[in-house]
Amino acid sequence: MDLVDLVTRWGVPLIVIAVLLEQGGLPLPAAPLLVVSGALADVGTMRADVLLGAAVFACLMADHVWFWLGRSHGRRVLATVCRMSLSPDTCVRQTDDLIRRHGAPLLLVAKFIPGVSAVAIPSSAASGLSYRRFVVFDVLGAFAWSGAYLGAGMIFSREVNRLLDRMSVIGSWSLVIFGAAIGLYVVAKVLQRRRLKRLHRLVRISPEEASKLLDDEPDALIVDARSQLAREQDTRAFRRSVVLGDRTIVEIVPLEQRGRTIVTFCTCPNEASAALLAEQLIKAGYERVRVLTGGEEALRRLAS
């Protein structure tokens, strides 16, 4: 059995499973399968309307699960999303900024944006998005995303089917190649996440250590790297802290003060935005940089 035989025989169940897994948070891209299915539909092997309905149905099932998890568990569920999807944990801050700027209409295009697609729905739900608005924009977004990839397969049907014909010559090896490509994609995402985690482990500091540091070093500073949306939801702040916002770190701590101790903080999973900021500081030559661990718990214990 080759790739074409597999998709032709099991097309609809495969699409439902693939889309459910991707939209459910796993790093398994469903877009290639949708493109292949669209190309086969264009030559009459499959029905485009059935494929579109299956993809939209799977999207809505997964999206509703994440909406209600975000509504019931708040921002705590975002760490789970990032771990499952292998998205960089910094995508939470990026998504927060987009949600604050665009609101519910972001769901129209969120599935097309790497990283944002994984956390947009639970983050929107945690921010208080009404169920009615969620349904309207999510349904439209699901149709747009599913239709775009199926449509791409139909538009470029000749090229896709030519490639499939070549792959059919090697038979079952086409499935091996397809699986290997997905495997490489997953490995790349794993390595991307591990890079920030290694840095985080090197320069982290506990809330207790941070409290002592602030007592011992009068010029030590905490830089709050939370998104504006996260700060609006929790207005507590540390003593002797500044908000990063849209400013550069050089505007907050000039280069001539590079010997000053700087502690970065955020509430995103694995302190990712804080770790990324710490990495930028170290590369810029700042000598004493730490990442505050604990997230919301650290804020509760150290907030003034």
Give the per-residue pLDDT at 236.
Answer: 85
- At 174, the amino acid letter reads S
**Is 289 in a helix, a strand, or coil?**
strand
SS3 state of residue 243: strand
178, part of any domain: no
pLDDT score at 111? 93
With tokens 């804080």, the residue in question is 274
**Location of structure tokens 């990839």:** 149
The reply to whether 191 falls in a domain is no
Domain count, the chain: 2
Question: What's the CATH code of the domain at 221?
Answer: 3.40.250.10
**Radius of gyration for the chain, computed over Cα atoms and rounded to the nearest angstrom:** 23
User: Do 119 and 222 share a domain, yes or no?
Assistant: no
Instruction: Using 50 as the pLDDT threshold, list the residues of the chain that sit under it.
Output: none
Q: Is 0.75 topped by the overall pTM?
A: no
Same domain, 146 and 255: no
* 24, 155: one domain: yes
**pLDDT value of position 226:** 86
Can you give the pLDDT at residue 4? 62
Q: Cα–Cα distance between 282 and 261 in angstroms, integer?
A: 12
Residue 272: which domain range? 202-302
88 and 129 share a domain? yes
Q: Clarify whether residues 237 and 153 are in a common domain.
A: no
Rounded alpha-carbon distances, angstroms, from residue 76 to 69, 125, 144: 10, 12, 29
DSSP at 219 = T
Residue 123 placed within a domain: yes
Express each pLDDT in 269-303 by its tens digit.
Answer: 777 788 888 888 888 888 889 999 888 888 888 77
**Which tokens hold the place of 175?**
């499935």
Q: Are residues 167 and 23 in the same domain?
A: yes
Same domain, 9 and 132: yes
User: Which of 154, 171, 188 is the last residue before a domain boundary?
Assistant: 171
